[in-house]
Chains A and B, each alone.
Chain A
Amino acid sequence: MNIANLFKIAVRALTNNKLRCFLTMLGIIIGVASVITMLAIGQGSKKSIQAEISEMGSNMIMIHPGGDMRGGVRQSADDMETLKLKDYESIINETRYVAAVSASVNSSGQVIYGSNNAPTTVYGISPDYMEIRRYKVQDGEMFTEQDVTTAAKVCVIGKTIVDNLFTNGENPVGKIIRFQKLPFKVIGVLESKGYNSMGMDQDDLILAPYTTVQKRVLAITHLQEIICSAIKEEYTEQAMDEITEILRRNHKLKADEEDDFTVRSQQELSNMLTNTTDMLTVLLAAVAGISLLVGGIGIMNIMYVSVTERTREIGLRMSIGAKGIDILAQFLIESILISVTGGLIGVLFGVGASLLVNYVAHFPIYIQPWSVILSFAVCTMTGVFFGWYPAKKAADLDPIEAIRYE
């Protein structure tokens, strides 16, 4: 029997049982659609994280107090105060591979202007911060080293703060806002950066001289973070080594003592993030894959029922000359048709669902062509794999018994 005839027979058999056929397909549709959607979301967030990081500067280095936390050991409070002003100054003065350096302390709280108030975070930083994090002042100007030295009560605010506090459209530059009762004069407004890939608002911040935040807001002398940039991306490693050496010397650590600070590069962070999203993608895809498997088992189940129901038909076909392979091919084509049609619909639904997720939840998505091809291929394989056994069973029937089957 030729393929065209086999197809006709399979289509006929399937259309004779439309509802059942559709329900069987549903398993495959859901499986394929979820694989595609999950991969689209996973790949999308990976892509956007990568884009963001390369925009932020891949030469960024962050120094935190306390040893490497990745071992899961809890740090004591004393450990968290190991970064001092002296470290900051040493890094500025003694490094060759570090371009810009900024101290960093922050405090969260309510910011008030007139009758408006909003929760936000004040970052105490050095003017170099702008270069490292690639922030730009849109209106007004950035504070200077002079302001840092005098611990001036000036600040630069993000777009979200402007929207929250200056609701009637007045120009924020020159106005006085209050953060934890402390008045700050707004001298500049930052260019908007929007949301990052983790859904964080990058415009919801106030930048002020670190000295001001240290002394007047937090009343501390240590630093919470030092961030800097290597002179070039290629020199990140050297810059990190340099910094480690300086800090170990400053902290008077003996050779056998562990670092009481952590130096991490943006590169590492980005690797960590992409690793996490990769893992998440794999996990999501695995869950989706399981639903594809369940769909496949659905096909197998229905093919079994179909073979049993049509035992007489199989017997008849054999008695008029169908060979085992003809019967095998007939049922295999049926199950492949179910899975391929289901797969096609699943691809459409998957792409649709991805776009919907993007539209409704603002998740970044990226539909990789290979993920579509892969899930489609897997789904065809599912049809062959799960259709094989019932089809084989049909082909192996004894025609005499089959034709008498009631």
Chain B
Amino acid sequence: MKEIIKLENIRRNFVVGDEVVHALRGLSFTIKEGEFVTIMGSSGSGKSTLLNILGCLDTPTSGEYYLDGVSVRTMGKNARATLRNRKIGFVFQNYNLLPKTTAIENVELPLMYNPAYNTVQRRKKSIDALIAVGLGERLNHKSNQMSGGQMQRVAIARALVNDPAVILADEATGNLDTRTSFEILVLFQKLHDEGRTIIFVTHNPEIAQYSSRNITLRDGHITSDIENEKILDAAETLAKLPVNDDY
């Protein structure tokens, strides 16, 4: 399998006043195409910092990062913006949909910044993405008329629409109740089955069981990196959940 992500001794220091915070202290790993990796760790262990670097929003203080074979470290701001647009799909904890805007317009957004797509193609791809996340019936619903789970589906559709090399999710189920969390997890597993590469940051150890690999961070170090031999099926778990749970 192709290596999508390759990190070599990545460090990230933040200077706060005259103190230096070592958020990442020399991380090295590779992620291959089609992996579903969960990243866990206690609060402040550096998960978000790592994800920002993987997502080309941030650059490491030192170390090399190759995304799909391209070295990101030396890239300028604009080149990274373009790289994000073509290779990365973000899913955030708080969805980050545009207010008062329909599902389809939200999903179209990444393609707006890609001149390769015209209006018709953009629309078609967005509809396909929304169908893929199960919102084919709600194309024109506005973001403020949707439930949290629906909003997160729109956000996932938005992350899919540009056919990214990797989907990055930071606490994507953090704001959702158990049942809806599992629904979203089912969706991620479906994407995984379709061969997409997913990196999923979470606090919830349970979720690790549904991924193909789990990396644990502590204090900016990797403390464990385990392949999951026995991946649980989220759809089955969802079916076993009581239907009317009050969360």
Instruction: Give A contacts to B, CB under 8 Å.
Output: 1-2, 5, 9, 12, 16, 312-313, 315-326, 399-400, 403
Contacts and interface: CB of A to CB of B under 8 A. Distances in A.
Nearest to B155: A316
B175 interface: no
B218 to A, nearest CB: 22
Residue of B57, B58, B112, B115 contacting most chain A CB atoms (<10 Å): B112
Contact of B109 (A2, A16, A320, A324): A320
B57 A319 contact: yes
B57 A399 contact: yes
A1 B98 CA distance: 17
Given A400-B52, A400-B57, A320 B113 contact: yes
Contacts of B109: 316-317, 320
Contact of A323 (B52, B81, B100, B115): B81
Nearest to A317: B109
A323 B77 contact: yes
Given A312-B96, A400-B52, A323 B57 contact: no
Specify the main secondary structure of chain A where it touches its partner: helix
15 contacts: A2-B115, A312-B96, A316-B109, A317-B113, A319-B57, A320-B109, A321-B82, A322-B81, A322-B113, A323-B78, A323-B113, A324-B78, A324-B81, A400-B52, A403-B96
B113 A316 contact: no
B113 A1 contact: yes
Contacts of B57: 318-319, 399-400
A319 B81 CA distance: 7
A323 B90 contact: no
A324 B82 CA distance: 11
B85 A320 contact: yes
Nearest to B92: A403
Contacts of B86: 321
Contacts of A9: 112
A16 B92 contact: no
Contacts of A315: 96
Residue of A2, A9, A320, A399 contacting most chain B CB atoms (<10 Å): A320
Contacts of A12: 101
A129 B98 CA distance: 80
Contacts of B110: 320-321
A400 B82 contact: no
Given A1-B113, A400-B57, A320 B78 contact: no
A333 to B, nearest CB: 14
B92 A318 contact: no
Contacts of B98: 313, 316
Nearest to B105: A12
A319 B109 CA distance: 11
A320 B90 contact: yes
A316 B85 CA distance: 11
A328 to B, nearest CB: 12
Given A312-B96, A324-B81, 12 more contacts: A1-B112, A1-B115, A2-B115, A9-B112, A12-B101, A318-B57, A320-B90, A321-B81, A321-B82, A321-B86, A322-B81, A323-B77
A312 B97 CA distance: 9
B55 interface: yes
Contacts of A312: 96
